[in-house]
């Protein structure tokens, strides 16, 4: 535990350091998986205060169970499942408080949803892979899909590369992305039931 | 119209363009979708482009606000393990530190209201790759008696140190040897403790144990 953690440290190493009480590694871990955790209550439609509460509870539980969470590959799944359960609890309480004693069964906003969990984990892994391949690949690959994308010419100007090289460079970057995704345990081989919109 | 066979090197770029066009409400060039879906490499490229597009276009609402992030990051700094982490690291003296999992704390499963006057020993169970340890805490006057039993694959002898974590510093209160056939007993005052089990270059940490 002599060197401070950095954002490129593997999750496995971060978890081990967190288990040994290294607060700096914990901060990196929260930063790395914060969006994954927060996306669960956010997508369930909880109000910002309730989202923040769920977020805190999930990280408190994570810290409490750290010594049992050494499996870096299973860690994102554990986070999402815990966030789903806490979101479900929070939404149940919100509905109960709003409904009062005389009304019927409450409608629960969120629930354990394996499909949602798988999708969120996949998006997290893609973002991690994108971060891992560095620049200019990251910008080349993301610029195209931004809703305000300005087209090839603007991308080429912004990145300082000839317009004609954007396509071939981006194709090579995509190969690197595939490699990084596979290293993160994400399947890139075609599966007929996993296309997304 | 049938699209000519695609150069495998161009598949990725074609897939990225096709997905981008569809997202913008445009149609890919005639036959491109068919050409991409006719080969496994094409399907794979299309699938990666679709996942990538989804990840890039994700809502910013998924991002935790800075104040929530900072609060969660501060959680670790308040735990006894984090407070004493660097000191424990020094005590390890280069040994491989293994923090054992707390699998059972009978205080957490006990009923809220017990019978008046009833005293119950606290049971703790720790496990690690190297060994498992069952601990019992009993009140003895002003002190607490810690009784421990090790379980390992072989009858290995371990050096055990009882470390008090009071007053913001670590202090060794007791040191002895234990094995699967030799349970250990020690007495401690109220407070926060770590038990360090050493054998060769391995150090197994139990704790923090909060007494009572």
For residue B148, the model assigns a pLDDT of 95
| Chain B nearest CA to A86, separation (Å) | 15
Residue A99 pLDDT exceeds 70:
no
For residue A102, the model assigns a pLDDT of 46
Residue A110 pLDDT exceeds 60:
no
In chain A, which residues have their Cβ closer than 8 Å to the Cβ of B16?
141, 144, 170-171, 174
Report the pLDDT averaged over residues A29-53: 91
Number of Cβ atoms within 10 Å of the Cβ of A82:
19
Burial of A151 (0-12, 13-18, 19+ CB in 10 A): exposed
Q: Does A154 touch chain B (CB under 8 A)?
A: no
Question: What's the Cα-to-Cα distance from A41 to each of A30, A58, A95, B3, rounded to whole Å?
Answer: 16, 11, 15, 45
Q: Report long-range pairs for B54-60 (Cβ below 8 Å, ≥24 apart).
A: B54/A123, B54/A126, B54/A196, B54/A197, B55/A123, B55/A126, B55/A127, B55/A130, B56/A141, B56/A142, B56/A145, B56/A146, B57/A145, B57/A146, B57/A147, B57/B23, B58/A39, B58/A123, B59/A42
Verify whether the Cβ–Cβ distance B99 to A19 is below 8 Å: yes
Task: Give the CA angle between residues A97, A99, A105 to the nearest 5°.
Answer: 110
For residue A2, the model assigns a pLDDT of 46
Tell me: the pLDDT tens digits for A167-178? Answer: 778 888 888 888
For chain A, what percentages of helix, strand and coil (3-state, to nearest 5) are there? 65, 0, 35
3-class DSSP assignment, residue B166: coil
Give the Cα separation of B99 and B95 in Å (integer): 12
For residue A107, the model assigns a pLDDT of 43
Q: Which candidate, A37, A35, A27, places its Cα nearest to that of A81?
A: A37
Q: Which residue has the higher pLDDT, A55 or A149?
A: A55
3-class DSSP assignment, residue A59: helix
Residue B208 phi/psi, 5-degree rounding, is -70, 135
Q: Who among A22, A35, A174 is closest to B12 (CB)? A: A174
| Chain A nearest CA to B117, separation (Å) | 31
Residue with tokens 């510093």: B169
Residue A8 phi/psi, 5-degree rounding, is -90, -5
Put simply, the chain A residues between 58 and 87 with a CB less than 8 A from any chain B CB are 59-60, 63, 67-68
Q: Which residue has the higher pLDDT, B28 or A47?
A: A47
| Chain A nearest CA to B204, separation (Å) | 11
Verify whether the Cβ–Cβ distance B56 to A145 is below 8 Å: yes
Q: Which candidate, A169, A122, A182, places its Cα nearest to that of A141?
A: A169
Q: Does B78 touch chain A (CB under 8 A)?
A: no
Tokens of B4: 């000519």
For residue A78, the model assigns a pLDDT of 92
Q: Who among A51, A55, A122 is closest to B51 (CB)? A: A122
Domain residue ranges of chain A, discontinuous segments joined by +? 1-101, 124-188
DSSP characters for A87-104?
A: HHHHHHHHHHHHH-TTS-
Mean pLDDT of chain A: 79
Tokens of A8: 């490129």
For residue A194, the model assigns a pLDDT of 41
Tell me: the pLDDT tens digits for A122-163? Answer: 888 888 888 888 888 888 888 777 756 666 777 777 777 787
Q: What proportion of chain A, given as a percentage, has pLDDT over 90?
A: 21
Sign of the alpha-carbon torsion through B78, B81, B82, B84: positive
Q: Which residues of chain B have pLDDT under 70?
A: 1-9, 59-61, 109-119, 167
Domain A1-101 class, CATH top level? mainly alpha
For residue B91, the model assigns a pLDDT of 86
Verify whether the Cβ–Cβ distance B44 to A63 is below 8 Å: no
Domain A124-188: which topology? Arc Repressor Mutant, subunit A (1.10.10)
Residue A110 phi/psi, 5-degree rounding, is -130, 160
For residue A103, the model assigns a pLDDT of 46
Residue B41 phi/psi, 5-degree rounding, is -65, -40
In chain B, which residues have their Cβ closer than 8 Å to the Cβ of A141?
16, 52, 56
Q: Domains in chain B, ordered, with CATH?
A: 8-60 (no CATH), 79-211 (2.60.40)
For residue B59, the model assigns a pLDDT of 60
Verify whether the Cβ–Cβ distance B63 to A35 is below 8 Å: yes
Quote the pTM value. Answer: 0.67
Give the Cα separation of B54 and B47 in Å (integer): 11
């Amino acid at each position: 535990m002599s060197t401070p953690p950095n954002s490129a440290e593997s999750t496995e190493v971060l978890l081990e350091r967190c288990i040994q009480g290294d607060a700096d590694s914990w901060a990196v871990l929260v930063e790395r998986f914060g969006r994954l955790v927060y996306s669960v209550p956010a997508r369930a439609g909880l109000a910002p205060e309730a989202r923040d509460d769920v977020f805190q509870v999930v990280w408190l539980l994570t810290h409490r169970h750290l010594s049992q969470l050494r499996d870096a590959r299973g860690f994102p799944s554990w986070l999402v499942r815990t966030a789903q359960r806490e979101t479900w609890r929070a939404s149940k309480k919100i509905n109960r408080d709003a409904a009062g004693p005389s009304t019927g069964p409450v409608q629960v906003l969120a629930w354990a949803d394996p499909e949602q969990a798988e999708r969120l984990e996949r998006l997290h892994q893609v973002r991690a892979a994108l971060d891992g391949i560095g620049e200019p690949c990251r910008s080349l690959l993301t610029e195209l899909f931004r809703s305000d994308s300005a087209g090839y010419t603007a991308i080429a100007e912004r990145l300082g590369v000839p317009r004609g090289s954007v396509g071939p460079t981006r194709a090579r970057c995509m190969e690197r992305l595939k490699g990084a995704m596979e290293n993160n345990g994400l399947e890139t081989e075609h599966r007929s039931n996993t296309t997304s919109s | 119209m049938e699209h000519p066979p695609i150069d495998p090197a161009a598949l990725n770029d074609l897939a990225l363009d096709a997905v981008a066009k569809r997202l913008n409400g445009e149609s890919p060039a005639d036959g491109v979708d068919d050409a991409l879906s006719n080969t496994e490499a094409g399907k794979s490229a299309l699938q990666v482009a679709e996942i990538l597009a989804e990840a890039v276009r994700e809502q910013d609402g998924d991002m935790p606000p800075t104040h929530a992030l900072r609060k969660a990051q501060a959680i670790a700094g308040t735990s006894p393990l984090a407070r004493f982490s660097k000191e424990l690291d020094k005590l390890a003296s280069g040994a491989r530190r293994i923090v054992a999992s707390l699998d059972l704390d009978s205080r957490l499963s006990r009923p809220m209201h017990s019978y008046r006057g009833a005293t119950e020993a606290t049971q703790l169970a720790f496990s690690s790759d190297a060994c498992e340890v069952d601990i019992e805490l009993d009140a003895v006057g002003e002190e607490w008696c810690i009784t421990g039993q090790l379980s390992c694959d072989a009858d290995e002898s371990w050096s055990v140190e009882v470390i008090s974590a009071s007053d913001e510093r670590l202090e060794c209160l007791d040191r002895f040897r234990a094995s699967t056939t030799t349970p250990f007993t020690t007495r401690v005052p109220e407070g926060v403790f770590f038990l360090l089990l050493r054998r060769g270059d391995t150090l197994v940490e139990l704790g923090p144990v909060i007494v009572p």
